Structure 1
Amino acid sequence: MIEAVMLWNEPNNKSHWDPEIDPDWSRFAEMAILAGKAIAAVDPSLPRVLGGISPIDPSFIVNMAGRGVLDHVDVVAVHGFPLDWNLWRIHDWPQKLDEIRAVTDRPLWVSEVGVSSFGAEEVQVFGVERTAALLAGRAPRIHWYSLYDLPRAWPATTRHKEAEGSSYYRHFDMGLLREDGTPKLALETFARHTPTLGLCQWFHFEDHRLDEAVRWMKRLGVTYLRTGLSWADSFRPNALAWFDRQMDALAEFDVTVTFCFTPEHLGIAPHHTSPPRDPRIFADFCAAMVERYAHHRATPPVACPAE
């Protein structure tokens, strides 16, 4: 069921990792190395992906290399949203990839890229077309974020919430489908670029959209998906039953599963962005999930031919 595992999500973004507790990312590096080793001990052929970085910052990759993290991952990944949050143009995508390739020889994936329909649905249509043109052939995995809009009743995972102004509210309009499941203009455009483009879709605990999402992905011709299994959720009642249901529903796709979110009771601070007090517990969680779900895996491509 798992084609690859990703260690954390956006570790250089303070919405996902607390830089006040870990300003030099030494704690993150220790945790990632332990997790990488634990995964390899269970399945040495399973590709390990360093959590997709946002912003795209070569110095972060250099830091991870210097701390030994890249010795325990097979792929590095980036996230980019130039029409919504980043301070660079969408046409700069090839340059941004080259900046990372200049500091590592690890294969490079684009594990989140997207455009919101916040201003106009036509902007999202342009974003899908231009992104596909700029990235196709330059990375073996391009995960479009996302299939569904984030429901308005759910909070977006970001540090400053509504204080971010329109930047916060753009989180809710990243889907190709509206919250009620009706298609936006960009859905048809996206379908013309599958299976080159895959999806990134986060499913919340016991997410009511799971089965319908699977039906949509099959209709759209999607073959690969990135999602997550939350370490924090693993402590909820019936967590394994939900994880089993999620992974079983996604069994027909090549799934990159992201392990992240610190349980409050295990963090240095009681927050999902906190480094854990004992990083070995995260490594144990990663190993257990790989043991449980990776046995039906087909080995994916991790490299992309140079153009």
Structure 2
Amino acid sequence: MIEAAMIWNEPNNKSHWDPEIDPDWSRFAHMAKLAANAIREVNPGLTRVLGGISPIDPNFLALMKSQGVLDHLDAVAAHGFPLDWNLWQIHEWPQKLEELRSVTELPVWVSEVGVSTFGAEEVQLWGLKKTAELLKGRAERIQWYSLYDLPRAWPATTRHREAEGSSYYRHFYMGLLREDGSPKLALDEFARHTPDIGLVQWFHFEDPRLDDAVAWMKRLGVTYLRTGLSWADRFRPNALDWFDRQMEALEDFDVTVTFCFTPEHRGLAPHHTSAPLVPDEFAEFCAEMTARYAPAPSSFEPSSFERLRPRIETPSTSLPIQPRE
């Protein structure tokens, strides 16, 4: 079910990793190497990707290289939103990719790129056309963010929320579909670029949109998808039932699964951006999910889901974690 495992999401973005706890990213580097090794031990053939960096910063990639992280990975990834949040223009995309390639010989994926319709749907339509022109043929993976708008009842994962002004509210309008599932202007244009361009869609715990999302993706000709499995959600009651349902629903796609989000009770601080108290626990989560959904071909059996169910379930009172959509 999984073609690639991504280790964390936007590790150089303080909305996803707390730099006050880990100012030199040494804790992150240690955790990432443990996770990469754990994934490789379960399935040596599974592609391991550094969580997409945002902002696109070759200095951060160089830092990860100096700390040995890239030696344990098969690809790196970048996220870019030049029409919404980044301080560079959309035509600079090729230059941004080359800046990263100057630091590493690993393949560079664009694992999130998108345009908000906060101002106008016509902006997203133009931005999608220009993005496809600039990125197709230049990156091994291009994943458009996202299929659905983020429901207004769900908070976006940022540090300052409404204090960010329009920057915050843009998070809610990144979809090709509105919150009610109706199409936006850019939907037909997106279908012209599949399967070359895939999708990013984060699914909330027990997300009611899952089946409709699968139907839409098949209708649009999507073949590869990036989504997430939350370490924090793993401590919810019936977590594995939901994970199984999500991954079974996505079995017809080539899935890059992002492992991220620290459980509040397992962090140095009680927040999903915190470095964990015991980094090996995150590695164990990555190994468990890999064994369950992407075992090495020789070890896969149809009954793997039940055989791999852990003996102990730990309930959690943690609040749901909803990634930026």
| TM-score, reference length from structure 2 | 0.91
* Equivalent in the alignment of 2:141: 141
Aligned-residue offset at 1:140:
1.3
1:192-237 per-residue CA deviation (whole Å, 9 max, x = no partner) reads: 1111110000000000000000000000000000000000000000
Runs of 4+ residues over 6 Å off in structure 1: none
> Following the alignment from structure 2 to structure 1, what is the Cα–Cα distance between the partners of residues 83 and 26?
32
SS across alignment from 1:222: coil
Q: Which residue of 2 aligns with 1:20?
A: 20
Preserved contact between residue 45 and residue 296 of structure 2 (Cα < 8 Å): no
2:121 touches 2:185 (CA, 8 Å); kept in 1?
yes
Measured in 2, the distance between the counterparts of 1:254 and 1:136 equals: 18
Aligned to 2:271, the other structure's residue is in SS state coil
Gaps of 5+ in 1: 298-307
State the partner residue of 2:246: 246
Aligned to 1:302: none
Match of 2:186 in 1: 186
CA contact (8 A) 1:49 1:76 kept: yes
Partner of 2:113: 113
Letter in 2 for 1:187: L
Matching residue of 1:123: 123
Task: Give the residue type in structure 2 aligned to 1:256.
Answer: T
Letter in 2 for 1:249: A
Equivalent residue for 2:44?
44
Structure 1 residues 80-117: Cα deviation after superposition (integer angstroms, max 9, x where no partner): 00000000000000000000000100100000000000
Identity %: 77
Structure 2 gaps of 5+ residues are 298-325
The CA distance in 2 between the partners of 1:189 and 1:117, in whole Å, is 15
SS state at 2:244 partner: helix
1:141 partner letter: R
**Cα pair 1:2 1:296 within 8 Å, conserved:** no
What secondary structure is seen at the aligned counterpart in 2 of 1:151? coil
Quick check: 2:42–2:295 contact (8 Å CA) kept in 1? Answer: no
Secondary structure at 1:137's aligned position in 2? Answer: coil
SS of equivalent to 1:229: strand
Q: Displacement of 1:296 after TM fit?
A: 8.3
- d(CA) in 1 for partners of 2:251, 2:57: 33
- Looking at structure 2, the residues matched to 39 and 273 of structure 1 have their Cα atoms a distance apart, in angstroms, of 21
Kindly tell me the number of residue pairs found equivalent between the two proteins.
297
> Which amino acid is the alignment partner of residue 279 of structure 1?
P
For the residues of structure 1 that align with 2:295 and 2:235, how far apart are their CA atoms? Answer: 23
The residue number in structure 1 matching 2:158 is 158
